[in-house]
Amino acid sequence: MTRGGSTARAAGIVTLVVAGLLGSAYVLGRSLVPDQPPPHSAGATTSADGPRYADQPSIGEPNAAPTTGAAPRNSAGPTATGPAEAGQDGTGRDAGGDNLFGAHATTGTPRLALTFDDGPDPRYTPQVLALLREYDVRATFCVVGENAQNHPDLVQSIVEAGHTLCNHSWHHDVGLGARSPDAIRSDLLRTNAAIRAAVPNAPIVWYRQPGGAWTYPVVSVARQLGMTPLHWSVDPSDWELPGATKITATVVGQAQPGSVVLLHDAGGDRQGTVEALRRILPDLTARFELEALPTDPT
């Protein structure tokens, strides 16, 4: 072999070795750089229908989540079936494994209760009140504190019509149950204060955790403040805007004695719920006695 050939071969070997070393260094360097997390969306949305509550995560601490054991809105059990199917007892604990920490999921009587969340709302709450008045039905309104503060006249209309009030947190905070007891207490007291600014003497004896995300601390604080935790047994998921026909079919099909029906009069476009209520009320009033939840629960 000639000297020129040996030199070329040696240069080729050196080139391969250098390339290999550079490749190894690149791989090592990449392994030391942490993966970039995907961008996080805030979740809070607004629209012409006002703030959307039913589908938003916790406000203030976007990464907060309910602690282990919380029952989310769309979990199996009481949100998907009636009390007989889910095996619920009067305390809200069901045989399917969901622990509601003592929250009531039924009325405990043969009577049926309609409940409306996230209001009051100046567009939809008056329509709901008018339909309830037409059928002489009393219901329970789980109001959001900031909405009670912004629309005290509607809170007054709810009480004057004989309906029951329920605390639904200040800003529909799904992660509230994961916070400290002091933070939970402050939120619930702030909401009660806004309600009582509108209706000073109205009893507030029920509390509903947004998203159904129950934890022991939120149940405990609510009870310490004299409020009974309130869940539900019929959920047509009207906050997902399935349309009046589907909302009607779910409520009419699943309603049975003792049911607590979850509907919404705010938190987004609720016209489908209003139209469904127009169809639901003739059926339910023909089959059941409807009641506002009592202001002195035991």
Mean pLDDT of 164-189: 97
The boundaries of the domain holding residue 253 are 107-287
* Mean pLDDT in residue range 193-198: 98
Q: Does residue 94 register a pLDDT over 50?
A: no
First to last CA, the chain: 103
60 within domain boundaries: no
Higher pLDDT: 30 or 8? It is: 8
The answer to whether position 266 is within a domain reads: yes
Residue 162 forms part of a structural domain: yes
What pLDDT score was predicted for residue 297? Answer: 73
Lowest-confidence pick of 32-41, 102-111, 159-168, 177-186? 32-41
What is the per-residue pLDDT for 84?
28
Task: Single out the catalytic residue among 94, 98, 104, 117.
Answer: 117
Q: Say if 130 falls within a structural domain.
A: yes
Query: Is a pLDDT exceeding 50 seen at residue 273?
Result: yes
Examine residue 164 and state whether it is found in any structural domain, yes or no. Answer: yes
| 104 catalytic per annotation | no
Which range, 14-28, 31-45, 238-252, is most confident? 238-252
* Number of independent structural domains in the chain: 1
pLDDT of residue 274: 98
Domain CATH code at residue 151: 3.20.20.370
Q: Is 6 helix (H, G, I), strand (E, B) or coil?
A: helix
CB 154 within 8 A of CB 123: no
Could you tell me if residue 185 is inside a domain?
yes
Surface-to-core class of residue 23, CB atoms within 10 Å of its CB (0-12 exposed, 13-18 middle, 19+ buried): exposed
pLDDT at residue 90 tops 60: no
- 172 flagged as catalytic: no
| Alpha carbon distance 129, 215 (integer Å) | 32
Beta pairing partners, 140: 115, 164
42 against 235, higher pLDDT: 235
Strand ranges in the chain using DSSP code E only, listed in sequence order: 45-47, 50-52, 113-117, 140-143, 164-167, 204-207, 228-229, 260-264
- The catalytically annotated residue of 94, 231, 264, 265 is 264
Q: Answer yes or no: is 121 within a domain.
A: yes
